[in-house]
Amino acid sequence: MLSIVHRDLKPNNIILECDMTLNISDFGSAKTLSPDVTEEHTCRVVGTSGYIAPEYASRGVYSLKTDVFSFGILVLETISGRKNTILDKRGDTVGDLVRDAWCIWKDRRLHELVDRSLGHGYDIAEVVMYAQVALLLLCAQEDPVDRPAMTDVAAMLSSESMSLPMEPKEPSALSEGGAGEDTYINRSSRTIDITITSSATVLTRVRFIIDPEV
């Protein structure tokens, strides 16, 4: 049986019907893998920045773990209401949203990941479960070997007593930047650090301390 690698899994390619049935669309860039092949290479990388797996974006390597990464980003964005931005000029591989999520997970503050526009209209236990299943943290690991198979993700989601099969690894450090200009905003706490780099080799850091009462 052939397996399909979509290679461009993102919100625009997910169709939600009125009965909450999900359909995946736009298979124009999809590839198939035979059962005896674990990965393939391509010289033409297609997809959308922020959703592309690191090994596929940098080396053109795709496998069944490629869409697992994209799936993790999709769920992370659904929970947080934020976009995952790749800071290319600073050597980023996973995106700012994944980095913030990892920091929040490390500090055991997963409730802070939830989109504030939801108010209190959600079950925090469910959100924590989705986060722990690593629909954002394990699925969005940089190394495909560290990502679970989608069958394992489904099994963990359907289990009432779920525990992490492994500890999520910290994303690799960003470089100091290069030519051009990049801005990185860390929203993982009430302290917001903004780093601005430019081609003039000038590095500016600005820190905002947010009043907890605001």
Residue 181 lies in a domain: no
Write the DSSP string, 160-181: SS---SSPPPPPPPPP---SS-
Whether the per-residue pLDDT at 195 is higher than 50: the answer is no
Q: What is the pLDDT of residues 173-185, one digit of tens each?
A: 787 655 444 444 4
Residue 210 lies in a domain: no
Catalytic residue list = 8
Residue 59 lies in a domain: yes
Q: Longest Cα pair distance anywhere in the chain, in angstroms? A: 58
Residue 129 lies in a domain: yes
Indicate the pTM of the whole model: 0.76
Residue 189 lies in a domain: no
Residue 207 lies in a domain: no
Between 23 and 124, residue with greater pLDDT: 23
pLDDT of residue 201: 38
Residue 10 lies in a domain: yes
How many structural domains does the chain have? 1
Range of the domain at 135: 3-173
Whether the per-residue pLDDT at 8 is higher than 90: the answer is yes
Domain containing 66 — which CATH number?
1.10.510.10
